[in-house]
Amino acid sequence: MKVFQSSGQIHGEINFLKEQGKTIGLVPTMGALHKGHIRLIERALISCDVVVCSIFVNPLQFNNPEDYNKYPSTIANDTKLLEEIDCHFLFHPNYEQVYGQSEPREYDLGNLNEIMEGSYRPGHFQGVANVVMRFFEIIQPDMAFFGLKDYQQYMVIKRVTQQLMPDIQIIGVDTIRDEKGLAMSSRNLRLSEEEYSSAVKVPALLKKAGLRLEKYTIPQTKTWFEKQVNKLPHLRFEYIEFADANTMVPVDRIEKKQSVRVFTAFYAGEVRLIDNMAI
């Protein structure tokens, strides 16, 4: 695996490969790689000739500075994992290499910036859009791969890419869960044993929330879910929302044939976790 820290160098190498007709896949990450990331890279390796994994903890997308400071960094282990699965390129730039002297841009994120993660984490999606668009300029991928655990982020990236770089295909890859059902996240590394024991109960509650809609309304189900989460030791409920999977407009009632997902965010101790699933 080739490791690049310079944007100019990887850009040059990719240009050379593209001239030879190679297709390029990009898997952007913030490191602390886990099985969810590995699945994204494996998926990229199936569809593209050359796969680039980027590792960059992007300060622009952290609305909470403590969260940024505590973000796990495991670069030696990440490099080893990427080598084991035959990823071709690792791009591990510093801030200067990604943004240079340029000011952050303001993207049109529509309603995605107003709901759920958009409203609870002001500035987060602008930060994500800035870094992903910057990586797209540097790497010029044919396809880029994102986990559906961050479904709203996936929709943000699809929207901005469609507006500005419509030739890039955005591929969403299903959430990978650990043996107890918790969605894989680099943040899980920060959970104590007790926090983990409570957090692993949330995916089953979320699934049950979907099933309860056969008998109860969405507002009733939201109240039920909030109570269940807050009953679990160390957990603090933040939100539950049901939204149309295509438009992301929150719904209070599901129309026939409408495809809807249920979304939640909660704290386990100091660690903020999110999850979502189709219902």
Report the residue number, 113 or 153, with the smaller CB distance to ligand PAF: 153
Report the residue number, 28 or 221, with the smaller CB distance to ligand PAF: 28
Q: Which residue from 38, 44, 128, 173 is in contact with ligand PAF, where contact means CB under 6 A?
A: 128
Report the residue number, 133 or 254, with the smaller CB distance to ligand PAF: 133
- What is the x/- site pattern for ligand PAF, positions 150-189, by CB under 6 A? x--x------------------------------------
Please report how the helices 202-212 and 218-231 are oriented relative to each other, as an axis angle in degrees rounded to 10: 160
Whether 37 is catalytic is yes
Binding segment toward ligand PAF, per CB under 6 A, in 124-132, 164-172, 200-208, 242-250: 124-132
Helix (H, G, I), strand (E, B) or coil at 175: coil
Q: Which residue from 25, 28, 36, 93 is in contact with ligand PAF, where contact means CB under 6 A?
A: 28
CA distance 184 to 191: 12
Q: Characterize 71-94 residue by residue with b for buried, 16 or more Cβ atoms within 10 angstroms of its Cβ, and e for exposed.
A: beebeeebbebbeeeebbbbbbbe
Report the residue number, 71 or 225, with the smaller CB distance to ligand PAF: 71
Contact 6, 31 (CB under 8 A): no
Contact 4, 92 (CB under 8 A): yes
Residue 43, number of CB atoms within 10 A of its CB: 18
Task: Give the residue among 105, 1, 117, 126 at the shortest CA–CA distance from 54.
Answer: 1
Could you say whether residue 61 binds ligand PAF (CB under 6 A)?
yes
Task: Tell me which residues touch ligand PAF (CB under 6 A).
Answer: 28-30, 58, 61, 128, 131-132, 150, 153
Q: What are the residue numbers of the active site?
A: 37
